Chains A and B, each alone.
Chain A
Amino acid sequence: MKEPVIVFDHFGFQYFEQSEPTLHDINLVIHKGEKVLIAGPSGSGKSTLGSCINGLNPFAHKGTITGSLKVGGMETKDASLFKLSAVTGTVLQDSDGQFIGLSTGEDIAFALENDLIPQPEMKERVSKIAGLVGMSNFIAQNPHELSGGQKQRVSLAGVMVEDAEVLLFDEPLANLDPKTGRTAIELIDEIADENRAVIIIEHRLEDVLHRPVDRIIVMNDGRIIADDTPDRILASGILPGCGIREPLYLTAVRYAGIPVTEEDRPASLETFRTDLFRSRLQSWYEEHPVRKEKPAGRDMLEIRDISFSYDGKRQVLDQISTVIREGEMMSIVGRNGAGKTTLASVLCGFIKPDKGSVLMYGEDLSKYSISERAGYIGIVMQNPNQMISKTMIFDEVALGLRIRGVPENEVTERVHDVLRVCGLYQFRSWPISALSFGQKKRVTIASILVLNPKILILDEPTAGQDYRHYSEIMEFLKKLNENGQTIILITHDMHLMLEYTERALVMSEGKLVTDQKAYQVLCDRELTERTNLRETSLFDLAEKCGISDPEGFVECFIQYDREVRGNED
């Protein structure tokens, strides 16, 4: 019989600074040897649940507990943060932000240092654990200089060194490019064994299910609304209603009107009984011919042979040339460090390229200062907190105009116009602190849009957002684009690129590897492998069902999907 390690019994939690409880009536048992996925939209309480297990709640973030939660046999409210964190090792979302040590070895040793382990024993244990996660050759390296996947290994080693009974991963996939994310999931799978429980908190369901999990626990509004096997949860179709996105292959099957049951094993494309409906999927595809695309706009921005290097040795940008057309919404994709953000910095004039030029309608932009250039190309940074400096929404959006000495009555008019476009007009006299993350993001977009840039660049507009906020932000951008705004998105989110952008520039090690239709990129296995992207599961589905033209199938799905979404609003 498996031994229960986490037992929630009519458990509730309320943060001191909040008027309502965040968790209500949680009943949940997790056993040793189990691997569990906790899914739910932002604000569903899934992270709070995790923090109750590892002791951050109520010991670091104060609050009141009702009912009971036992972790490793301890009643949590009578324990302490140190006792609880010794049972549960936690890998936090942002692996960059949680490195404490200056070398990999030191970071792994952090928990041992706090436990007063003498240095010789510490070194021995560190080298053993480093070997276990395959990082033996990197013990002296600075963890910040490692690749995304290696960073994950180091943070994992840092919690494994304590021999925790529970391993908790809080959104391990956020900020990782698709291939690294997949490697992370494989790594988690490898270290799962009979003596540990593994809990993954994540809303990117399809990516987590790359390796099997025993159970999926679905949370919404602070309650557990489902706790079952992946096959049953996916077949039930409750996920989209809770703001969690189903795997794309499953969405495609549903679009084709094919009923899905538990026996079809939908949890993974490998086990999915596609043989039961091959012909129906095929005929759906034939019934939905791909429409002609809209004609391309006039050439707008020409990037001519841009090269750049920070240190004169490694080329961060290597002879990049392309043309951006009027009214386009396109994406720049590639792994972390491929040069995407540097390219955007060159476009905005933040850095001068060593070679090459940026031309807008044939006019060289290099003669303009950074702030003059903002009238041509505006950039919205990833984290809204990096931009917001005023307390009131109106003032924040008006900032750029006021500095440019625009008369106050014109400022009011233009700010109001832009706030209407961004759906923020009714909030115009609100303080920014009262807004949600998505709304803050819109404020930063509005504060750039108000300067009327011809091209708007957004750096990872949906990073860390759940499906609901993702859709909200992206539909908003789509609407802007339909009104004629040219938009460039920098991202490593394959869904975003596939669903919202026509064209994709793929970068790898400073080079522009390819410039083609977004869906074509994700159907090219060799290319995705080389550039740390990942082909879409739609392509795999089409192949598995023997559809003669899988690329066409993906395109067909995307068009159909856009129509469905368009009808939703």
Chain B
Amino acid sequence: MKIKTFSYDQLDTFVHRLSGLSKLICFLLLTTAIMVTYDIRIIAGIMVLSFTIMKISKIPLSRIRLMLVYVFIFLAFNFVLTYLFAPEYGVEIYGTRHEIFSFGGRYTVTLEQLFYQVTKFSKYLSVIPLGIIFILTTNPSEFASSLNRIGISYKICTSLALTLRYFPDVADDYNQIALAQQARGIEMSAKASVMQRLKRMASILIPLIMTTMERIETIANAMDLRGFGKHKKRTWYAAKPLNRSDYLSILVCVVILGVSLFVRFRINHGIYWNPFI
């Protein structure tokens, strides 16, 4: 049973053809652009962009469905908690108060609060597809070679690539072990208390660590035997030179970040965009 959720897929799309380095830079630029603003117009723009890129990179929905479900549960949870803990935060930020209705007590729903929470929700929602795209369209080896080129030690790069590469295998092991332990009666469901669940988690993690250590030892031997670490540098079979579309993509992302910063400092004069005054 292969868990494909987190592994790289070899396809030939515009996004796949970009170098891993430029994808990383674009990812960081766009994430920063979102981080510096609470302006829903910019966030919505980037969200549209990231879903478009997802479309271009032909990532099938079935591959990421599970991941999306978890993200959604997390976001919904976050949404509710934000409201429970600070129902008046929106009012505080925007300085006006348009009450819609009230649950009683301090829990009233205001337009401001709703707007604030929707903005926050969209922030997360626009970053996540970018992360998914980055992981699923970047060949880990090629990415390692890019990192190496910007000066990071090749040993670190290779171990990073190997981690990405073996993640699906370890996830696979985890699944098998969890099933076998469940068969022995270890119920991971919510029925058990937290303490019990922690203990039971150990009965899956210990075998997982043992089998992963075995894996690491094999691969380490294989790498030693084939001369890994012989020289201070190494060359890369998977290295890809940056070409025009790489520079172009980075440029586009720099412009987006520029716009985001410009709007924040020159137009909104703050992190929030206030449509209420």
Interface residues of A (CB under 8 A from B): 54-56, 59-60, 81-82, 85-86, 89-90, 92, 94, 97-98, 100-103, 105-106, 109-119, 122-123, 126, 140, 142, 158-159, 162, 310, 345, 348-351, 370-371, 373-374, 378-379, 381, 383, 385-390, 399-400, 403-404, 447-448, 451
Contacts and interface: CB of A to CB of B under 8 A. Distances in A.
B184 A447 contact: yes
B184 A97 contact: no
Contact of B234 (A113, A310, A403): A113
A404 B204 contact: no
A202 B2 CA distance: 30
Interface stretch (B98-106, B222-230, B244-252): B222-230
B211 A98 contact: no
Interface string B32-69: 00000000000000000000000000000000000000
A81 B181 contact: no
A493 B61 CA distance: 41
For chain B, what secondary structure do more than half of its interface residues adopt (helix, strand, loop), or is it mixed? helix
Cβ-closest 4 pairs across A and B: A98-B222, A97-B218, A109-B237, A389-B203
A97 B185 contact: no
A77 to B, nearest CB: 17
A389 B226 contact: no
Given A112-B237, A119-B236, 17 more contacts: A56-B221, A85-B225, A86-B227, A97-B215, A97-B218, A100-B162, A105-B237, A110-B226, A110-B228, A117-B235, A158-B226, A310-B1, A371-B182, A371-B185, A387-B177, A389-B203, A403-B187
A255 to B, nearest CB: 40
Contacts of B237: 101, 105-106, 109-110, 112-113, 119, 122-123, 126
Contacts of A54: 225
A85 to B, nearest CB: 5
Nearest to A312: B62
B128 interface: no
A451 B184 contact: yes
Interface string B190-230: 00000000001011101100110011001111111111111
B230 A82 contact: yes
A110 B138 CA distance: 19
Contact of A106 (B202, B222, B231, B238): B238
Contact of B235 (A101, A116, A310, A388): A116
A240 to B, nearest CB: 31
15 contacts: A56-B221, A97-B219, A98-B218, A98-B222, A110-B226, A112-B235, A114-B229, A115-B227, A119-B239, A122-B237, A123-B237, A310-B1, A371-B183, A381-B180, A399-B185
Nearest to A372: B185
A101 B141 CA distance: 7
Given A92-B222, A101-B237, A378 B141 contact: no
A114 B228 CA distance: 6
B17 interface: no
A247 to B, nearest CB: 30
Contact of B173 (A60, A105, A123, A386): A386
A461 B204 CA distance: 21
A386 B175 CA distance: 11
B140 interface: yes
B265 to A, nearest CB: 43
Given A113-B236, A310-B1, A386-B211, A404 B185 contact: yes
B235 A122 contact: yes
Contact of B224 (A60, A94, A381): A60
B226 A111 contact: yes
Contacts of B211: 383, 385-386
A102 B168 CA distance: 13
Contact of A389 (B139, B185, B207): B207
Most B CB within 10 A of own CB, among A89, A383, A385, A448: A385
Contacts of A60: 220-221, 224
Nearest to A106: B237
Nearest to A94: B218
A389 B180 contact: no
B56 to A, nearest CB: 22
Nearest to B215: A97
Contacts of B236: 113, 119
B97 to A, nearest CB: 52
A348 B231 CA distance: 51
B213 to A, nearest CB: 9
Contacts of B228: 110, 114
Contacts of A159: 226
Contacts of A115: 227, 230-231
B215 to A, nearest CB: 6
Interface in B232-277: 233-239
A357 B127 CA distance: 44
B71 interface: no
B219 to A, nearest CB: 6
B179 interface: yes
A386 B165 CA distance: 21
Given A110-B226, A114-B226, A102 B184 contact: no
Contact of B177 (A86, A349, A386): A386
A390 B185 CA distance: 15
Contact of B204 (A101, A162, A371, A389): A389
B239 to A, nearest CB: 6
Contacts of B234: 113-114, 116
B10 interface: yes
A2 B3 CA distance: 52
Nearest to B228: A114
B183 A379 contact: yes
A130 B162 CA distance: 23
Contacts of A112: 235, 237
Contacts of A116: 231, 233-235
Contacts of B165: 102
Given A110-B226, A381-B180, A102 B8 contact: yes
A112 B234 CA distance: 9
A374 B229 CA distance: 48
B176 A381 contact: yes
B186 interface: yes
Contacts of A390: 203
A133 B199 CA distance: 50
Contact of A403 (B1, B186, B230): B186
Nearest to B217: A97
A100 B154 CA distance: 14
A214 to B, nearest CB: 24
Contacts of A348: 179, 183
Nearest to B239: A119
A55 B234 CA distance: 21
Contact of A386 (B180, B202, B222, B239): B180
A381 B183 CA distance: 12
Contacts of A114: 226-231, 234
Contacts of B203: 389-390, 399
A408 B193 CA distance: 21
